[in-house]
Amino acid sequence: MRKFYKLIAAITLAYGFAPTASAQKAEKDYEPYPHMFVGVQGGVQNTFNNSFNNWKTFTPTASLSFGGYFNKIVGSRLHFNGIWDKGSAQYLSLKEKPYSGKFDYKYLTTSADVLVNLCTLFGNKDSYPVNLIYIMGLGANYAWDNDGALALATGTPAVRGMEYAANDKRWAFNARVGLGLDIPVHKNVSVNLEADLNHIIPGDNHKFVTDNLQFTGQVGVNFKFGYKKKAVEEEWVTRVDTIWYDDVAYTPRVEDGTLTWNVFYEIRESDFNDPDAQLRAIGAFLADHRECKVTIKSYADVQTGNPKINMGYSQQRSEKAVKALVDAGVDPSIIKAEYFGDTVQPFAENDKNRVSIITATGLKDVKDKYTVKKYRTKEVRELKKK
């Protein structure tokens, strides 16, 4: 066994501690751990006991395993190993003459193993071109189809009370230690070499055909799966965008306002016609302007009455118009009233000259609306493009 350990150390040092190209490629897109695996192996085994013929009882063996690695150091597996074996034992006859012989049987060794990657345990990388795996586990060994060769030849029981009968079935506890080399060749495949020692602890009143150490040496392949994709490392950047938009602006100016109302009368009348409507119109203008002035000019038609009577009618019409405005709340200081009788005819149609012409003037503050282009800045956070 010392030669075997020296071989493992030599191979590990020869490969060094740099990840392989395939491992690097796998690490680029996937997290190397955790992952699952299914393994198949084949090789030789030998069961050692008190016989002189141990080295003649090597037989082929095969294994199947299911497991996974929780992280870069520790994993576990369920391991099944079998199926052919040869045993040998030394018997004593009744005359104390030694007799030894070989016999065939089948077996199945199961073990729940803990796997420890010694390279990643003491190194600082997730994987190496050759990983040295320490194996330890517990399980059970089951044997059947014993051909009973010794029992038939001698007719006597085995030394230490071990009895061998044809087709007898036996089981035992199993304790395992071992070492393995795991060599990644692809993200999903690795080649492995493994050597184990299984200590078969007999049960069932010591009636078991493999009551000693079992050595297995195998080579195999692990098929790995269940990787998680690596989380994308997001790099955020902040940029400043300029945003143009239309804004509304106003230019103030002063507008001259003028509004005229004509109050027409019947013959010999001087009262407002529909005074409420007239007063509401005048009040709206005065409320919408400043520095207002109100002028009232009253007339009479030339075809009715005489100049003296007509002058009186026009005077009454101006006076009543002033009174109506003042009663409605207009400041009398801004009112100027005049009357002209029939001396002036403002309209060509005679009946329309029985009239009071009320003119309001004032200044109005207005704002001319227009559109201007403006901009503002905005910080935008986004993923950096690869």
Write the pLDDT tens digit of every residue in 9-67: 444 444 443 444 444 544 567 788 899 999 999 999 887 765 445 556 788 999 999 99
Work out the mean pLDDT of the chain and round it to a whole number: 80
Residue 345 predicted with pLDDT over 90? yes
The CA dihedral of 44, 45, 51, 56, to the nearest 10 degrees, is -10
**164 vs 120 pLDDT, higher one:** 120
Write out the residue limits of the CATH 3.30.1330.60 domain(s) in the chain. Answer: 247-370
What DSSP state is assigned to residue 309? H
94 and 155 in contact (C-beta within 8 Å)? no
State the helix-helix crossing angle for 275-288 and 307-327, rounded to 10 degrees. 60
Residue 151 predicted with pLDDT over 70? no
133 and 193 in contact (C-beta within 8 Å)? no
CATH superfamily of 247-370: OmpA-like domain (3.30.1330.60)
The one-letter code for the residue type at 364 is K
318 and 263 in contact (C-beta within 8 Å)? no
pLDDT tens-digit series, residues 185-231: 988 999 999 999 988 776 544 444 445 688 899 999 999 988 888 77
- The H-or-E segment that residue 337 falls in is strand 335-339
The one-letter code for the residue type at 162 is M
Least confident span in 91-95, 122-126, 167-171: 91-95
List Cα–Cα distances, 230 to 116, 190, 276, 295, in angstroms: 24, 21, 86, 91
23 and 119 in contact (C-beta within 8 Å)? no
Residue 305 predicted with pLDDT over 80? yes
Could you give the CA distance from residue 202 to residue 200 in angstroms, rounded to a whole number? 6
What is the reported pTM?
A: 0.52
Write out the residue limits of the CATH 2.40.160.20 domain(s) in the chain. Answer: 2-229
Could you give the CA distance from residue 137 to residue 157 in angstroms, rounded to a whole number? 33
The domain over range 2-229 is classified in CATH as 3.40.630.10: no
pLDDT at 54: 57
Least confident span in 2-6, 322-326, 348-352, 353-357: 2-6
